[in-house]
Amino acid sequence: MGLDRRSFLAQTGIMGAGVALSGTIDALFTAAPALAGHGGGYGALVSDPAGLLDLPRGFRYRVLSRERGTAPAGVAPSSFDGMAAFAGPGRDVRLVRNHENRVGAFAPVVAPAELTYDPVAVGGTTTLVVGPRGVAEQISLGGTSTNCAGGVTPWRTWLTCEETEIRRGEGGHEKDHGFIFEVDPWRTDRNVDPTPLTAMGRFAHEAICVDPRTGVVYETEDAYGEKFGCFYRFLPRRPLGGHGSLRAGGRLQVMRVPGVADLSTVQEPGAVFGGVEWLDVPDPLATSVPVRLQDYGPGGVTHAQKLEGAWWGADGAAYFVSSFAVREHGSQADHQGQVWRYVPAANTLTLVVVFRSTDPEADLYKTPDNICMTPAGGLMLCQDGDGDSYLMGTTVDGEPYLFARNRQNLGTESAPSYGEFAGACFADDRRTMYVNCYAPGTTFEITGPFRR
């Protein structure tokens, strides 16, 4: 099932723009093929009279939350990023949302002292309760830094990831950062006295996914500087032990693909690498040397630029994304997005999809970041980078389509030029989608014929 370049270009009106898509994506789809969309996804985008969100005909949205909006803490924090949806009691849905705030943020997370890890840091999470009675919003974690993405545990809690390596004393911070924290969507008392999951490593965390059979946690790292980030796995001492069990510690390991020092050099979709090696991390707390730069022997470890989203597939595999790679930044090769699949049972790594463009000015269908599965079984990708921001999808048949455009991202004095989508997720009812706009911070609820 190849991605049909010609039908995509014709549908989006950019025939001749030089966008090239390649790869097979059937392995990603976990729902019944009978639910798949056909005929170009859901159709052309319809301009939104309100100037916020363009969607296909038949879909509707409502704004659940805005930065600077009314919230119990006084101001909804800015920089809306990763998010997950949890079924609440009755018809309620609980959304746990990250805020990728750093010191000096436009609207910092202001949390009660008992929910604050480091009083100097201004990142954290908010929990939205969405139900028939309206929308309620509360701070569920504060005092963390640069909360980017994360992931859901099999026991239905949220692991929020700090994408930073700030040390105590830097910028006045009172504690080390670069950790993962567990957030309970329902019980605020479980979020009191935030505890970093130190055994899972201190590095620029991006996202995680958990093997529901073994409890092994897979982690991506989005790091710059000397060498890029790596792909990790964490072997918990108390696997699948429920809330708080990850505090018991475990063993952190980093991936080495023999003969592949940089994932960007792999350009052929379907390329399979067996014999993946997992090496123990000598110092998960990175007390003197960053985790990715520690001594792993003559073969070193495998690095990749912009390791972003991660999720667990129903086919028993961990999927993760490299948003792009640029030689000028230090990568060994160029690409505009990769999707990788690691199968623990076979111990194999496969390049599933590559996004390429022969036109550097083309903004469409490249630089994927957060990714989730649609109710029809296809992919929904949040696009990273500047310029117009889109939600992009693929049907089970491998047909690409545009699902949404952020109209707030105009690059004018009154609107920012950094309005990427983030945190796309679906409610358990499979009829409701939630997604964030990073800036200006906005959380949308989208409903419509997702099952078509």
What pLDDT, in 10s, does the model give residues 308-362? 999 898 889 999 999 999 999 999 999 888 889 999 999 999 998 887 665 555 5
Show the tokens assigned to 306.
Answer: 């912009």
* Residues pairing with 61 in the sheet: 446
For the stretch 71-74, contacts whose Cβ atoms lie closer than 8 Å and that sit 24 or more positions apart, written own/partner, are 71/126, 71/137, 71/138, 71/139, 72/137, 72/138, 72/139, 73/109, 73/110, 73/111, 73/138, 73/139, 74/110
Q: What is the pLDDT of residue 393?
A: 80
The helix/strand/coil state of 113 is: helix
pTM above 0.85, yes or no: yes
Is residue 128 within 8 Å of residue 95, measured between CB atoms?
yes
Position 126 confidence tier, pLDDT thresholds 50, 70, 90: very high
Cis upstream peptide for 440 (omega within 30°): yes
Strand ordering across the sheet containing 379-383: 45-46, 53-56, 400-406, 390-394, 379-383, 368-373
Position 417 confidence tier, pLDDT thresholds 50, 70, 90: low
Rounded-to-integer distance, Cα 402 and Cα 108, Å: 33
Show the tokens assigned to 40.
Answer: 């170009």
The CA-atom distances, in angstroms, between 176 and each of 153, 180, 251, 433, 436 are 24, 12, 20, 35, 28
What pLDDT, in 10s, does the model give residues 267-320? 998 899 999 999 999 999 999 999 999 999 999 999 999 999 998 988 899 999
Show the tokens assigned to 161.
Answer: 């990831």
Rounded-to-integer distance, Cα 71 and Cα 67, Å: 9
Q: What is the pLDDT of residue 434?
A: 97
Q: What is the pLDDT of residue 174?
A: 98
Q: What is the pLDDT of residue 112?
A: 96
Share of the chain above pLDDT 70, in %: 82
Q: What is the pLDDT of residue 49?
A: 92
Residue type, 153: T
Strand ordering across the sheet containing 217-221: 205-210, 217-221, 231-236, 250-256, 277-280
CA distance between the termini of the chain? 20
Position 98 confidence tier, pLDDT thresholds 50, 70, 90: very high
What pLDDT, in 10s, does the model give residues 361-415? 555 666 777 878 787 777 788 887 666 688 988 666 656 788 999 887 545 544 4
Show the tokens assigned to 35.
Answer: 């639910």
Q: What is the pLDDT of residue 409?
A: 54
Is pLDDT of 26 > 60? no
